[in-house]
Amino acid sequence: MKYALVTGTSSGFGMYTALELAHQGFHVLATMRDVNNRTQIEALAQELSVLGRLTVLQLDVTKQEDLDLVAAYLEQHSIQIQVLVNNAGYCQGGFFQDLTEEEWQSQFQTNFFGAVRTTKTLLPFIPRDGSGKMIAISSVSGFFGFPGMSAYASSKFALEGWGESLRLELLNEGIWVSLVQPAAYQTKIWERGLEKVAEQQIENAFQENLVKEAMKSRDNGADPREVARLVAKIAQKERPKFRYPVGKGAKALAIGKRWLAWSWIEGYVYRFLKGRVAK
């Protein structure tokens, strides 16, 4: 039996990834911060006839004691994890001057240190024979710092740097590290991300247009099951790549960031937002 463990499975990418991996034949340990939120994933698993390949476990990635209990469960049942998916996270939106230090700390504790903590604790349970995978859900915000998302982008930039180092370290041990970089998708991550921005006082046309564009991205987001299918595809690859941008504009943005001068990029973004003033 092949096992996969996915964090943050109560909704969005995590939930659909767990279901897709179960559909592909993995027994999935679907972890979530509050197991009382298991209703939706279990109902969908029942519809897809994969409920028997799904085990829901309690895991708040900011709490080492939760991770220790998961590790004890794996040891007790002699489980090796062929695929570890670090998905748990949220988007702390808001203009830099309005974000508190506590909000910055919370963002990093979940998005960055949560993945580090989870991987460090569960690494002994990943096989070192070339079949083991660690897949982290990053973001296009992991290589492009969108305005109004400085905390979120910083946490994802940190995830990208950590992932690069870890990829090279673990290749020597027969474990493949990959990052998935989604663009905008229809997930609950937008609710908390835009909530802070909506509460703040809009001081100028630039900020007003920024909020409008963020709302538009949320409303036009693609189906998150596309990301889940990609993760399942990576899980099955013998030699997966390191980075996988996915979603509308993600690959173009990655190419542009790599090859275009920053002065051109910032000029375009500034003119785009500044020039969209409602008349």
Between 216 and 27, whose confidence is greater? 27
Question: Where do the structural domains in the chain lie, given as residue ranges?
Answer: 3-274
pLDDT for res 155: 98
Does residue 187 carry a pLDDT above 60? Answer: no
Q: What is the average pLDDT value for the chain, to the nearest integer?
A: 89
Is the pLDDT at 184 greater than 90, yes or no? no
Q: Among 25-29, 38-42, 115-119, 147-151, which is the least confidently predicted range?
A: 147-151
CA distance 114 to 110: 5
DSSP secondary structure letter of residue 38: -
- Residue 76 tokens read as 């007790």
Note the pLDDT tens digit of each residue in 41-81: 999 999 999 999 999 999 999 999 999 999 999 999 999 99
Instruction: Give the model's confidence band at 98: pLDDT under 50 very low, under 70 low, under 90 confident, else very high.
Output: confident
- Which position has the higher pLDDT, 211 or 34? 34
**CA end-to-end span of the chain, whole Å?**
62
Amino acid at 9: T
3-state SS class at 8: coil
pLDDT at 277 over 50: no
> Can you give the pLDDT at residue 147?
84
pLDDT tier at 270, thresholds 50, 70, 90: confident
Please report the pLDDT score of residue 205 as a whole number.
60
Q: Which pLDDT value is given to residue 271?
A: 75
**For 190-248, what is each residue's pLDDT tens digit?**
555 555 555 555 555 656 666 665 666 556 657 889 999 999 999 999 999 999 999 88
**Confidence check: pLDDT of 176 > 70:** yes
Q: What is the pLDDT of residue 203?
A: 59
Q: Quote the pLDDT of residue 146.
A: 86
Q: Per-residue confidence at 166, pLDDT binned at 50, 70, 90?
A: very high
DSSP labels for 121-155? HHGGGS-SSS-EEEEEE--GGGTS--TTBHHHHHH
Residue 115 belongs to what H/E stretch?
helix 113-122
Out of 3, 16, 90, 152, pick the active-site residue: 152
**pLDDT of amino acid 196:** 56
Q: Is 239 helix (H, G, I), strand (E, B) or coil?
A: coil
- Is domain 3-274 annotated with CATH 3.40.140.10? no
Torsion over CA: 93, 98, 102, 105 (sign): positive
Q: Is 152 a catalytic residue?
A: yes
| Predicted confidence (pLDDT) at residue 279 exceeds the cutoff of 50 | no
